[in-house]
């Protein structure tokens, strides 16, 4: 149904369909699409594993995850793997098309119920610091904001005109000073503190 919806539009072209994550990686590597839609729960090799492989090999390829549920752990993993969107399969066709267009324009798109799931995780202690009572310089705040909107390290480095190594070091320092465990928690910290 999704392929039919997208294929019916003049501004989209469906170039391949995969039955599992392994096939999705193979076909994406062959055809190099602008955007891949992956089901989080694909048969065999999961959509999350496919996402990880695609982003490692093709960091600029847009990858949007589709799911039928708001499972926080899987969403958290998809965020950590730099997915470009997190959408529910029951979205209206118009909303789905708009989300895909937004992802292609460089935005990270998230279904409202998935955002709600993340917000609940953010406000559940002792997940992370409760406010911005920690001292950050302007660069660290911008790095936190960039992580919050889904930028990968390379894009943050380009945005701030720093090397990727410097960005990695600053992220490590942010994690150490906040007690957060990974960049997903940094993203949630940014969301909670209205930095995005």
Q: Which two tokens stand for residue 194?
A: 């209205």
**Cα(12)–Cα(1) distance, rounded to whole angstroms?**
14
148-157, long-range: CB within 8 Å, 24+ apart, which pairs?
A: 148/186, 148/187, 148/189, 148/190, 148/191, 148/195, 148/196, 149/107, 149/108, 149/190, 149/196, 150/79, 150/82, 150/83, 150/84, 150/108, 150/187, 152/55, 152/59, 152/82, 154/59
Burial class of 171 by CB neighbour count within 10 A (0 to 12, 13 to 18, 19+):
buried
Domain locations along the chain = 2-122, 138-192
At the topology level of CATH, where does 138-192 sit?
A: Arc Repressor Mutant, subunit A (1.10.10)
Q: Which two tokens stand for residue 10?
A: 């003049």
Q: Which CATH class is domain 2-122?
A: alpha beta
Q: Are 156 and 147 in contact (CB under 8 A)?
A: yes
Instruction: Note the pLDDT tens digit of each residue in 1-44.
Output: 677 777 677 778 888 888 888 999 999 999 999 999 998 887 77
With bands split at pLDDT 50, 70 and 90, how would you rate the model's confidence at 187? confident
pTM exceeds 0.85, yes or no: no
Q: Are 142 and 162 in contact (CB under 8 A)?
A: no
Q: What is the DSSP string of 90-105?
A: TS-HHHHHHHHHHHHT
Burial class of 69 by CB neighbour count within 10 A (0 to 12, 13 to 18, 19+):
middle
Instruction: Note the pLDDT tens digit of each residue in 45-65.
Output: 688 889 989 998 998 899 998
Instruction: Note the pLDDT tens digit of each residue in 73-112.
Output: 777 778 778 888 888 888 888 888 888 888 888 888 887 7
Say which residues have a Cβ less than 8 Å from residue 87's Cβ, sequence separation at least 6: 64, 65, 66, 67, 96, 99, 109, 110, 111, 114
> What pLDDT score was predicted for residue 127?
45
Tokens 């997208």 belong to which residue? 6
């Amino acid at each position: 149904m999704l392929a039919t919806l997208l294929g019916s539009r003049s501004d989209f072209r469906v170039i391949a369909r995969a039955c599992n994550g392994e096939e999705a990686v193979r076909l994406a590597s062959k055809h190099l699409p602008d955007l891949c839609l992956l089901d989080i729960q694909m048969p065999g090799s999961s959509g999350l594993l496919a996402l990880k492989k695609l982003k490692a090999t093709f960091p600029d390829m847009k990858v949007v995850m589709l799911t039928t549920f708001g499972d926080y752990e899987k969403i958290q993993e998809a965020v950590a793997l730099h997915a470009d969107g997190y959408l529910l399969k029951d979205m209206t066709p118009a909303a789905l098309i708009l989300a895909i267009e937004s992802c292609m324009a460089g935005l990270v798109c998230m279904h409202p119920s998935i955002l709600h799931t993340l917000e609940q995780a953010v406000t559940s202690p002792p997940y992370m610091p409760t406010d911005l009572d920690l001292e950050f310089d302007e660069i660290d705040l911008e790095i936190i904001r960039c992580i919050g909107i889904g930028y990968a390290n390379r894009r943050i480095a380009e945005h701030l005109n720093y090397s990727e190594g410097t960005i990695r070091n600053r992220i490590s320092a942010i994690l150490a000073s906040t007690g957060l465990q990974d960049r997903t928690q940094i993203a949630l910290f940014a969301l909670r503190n209205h930095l995005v």
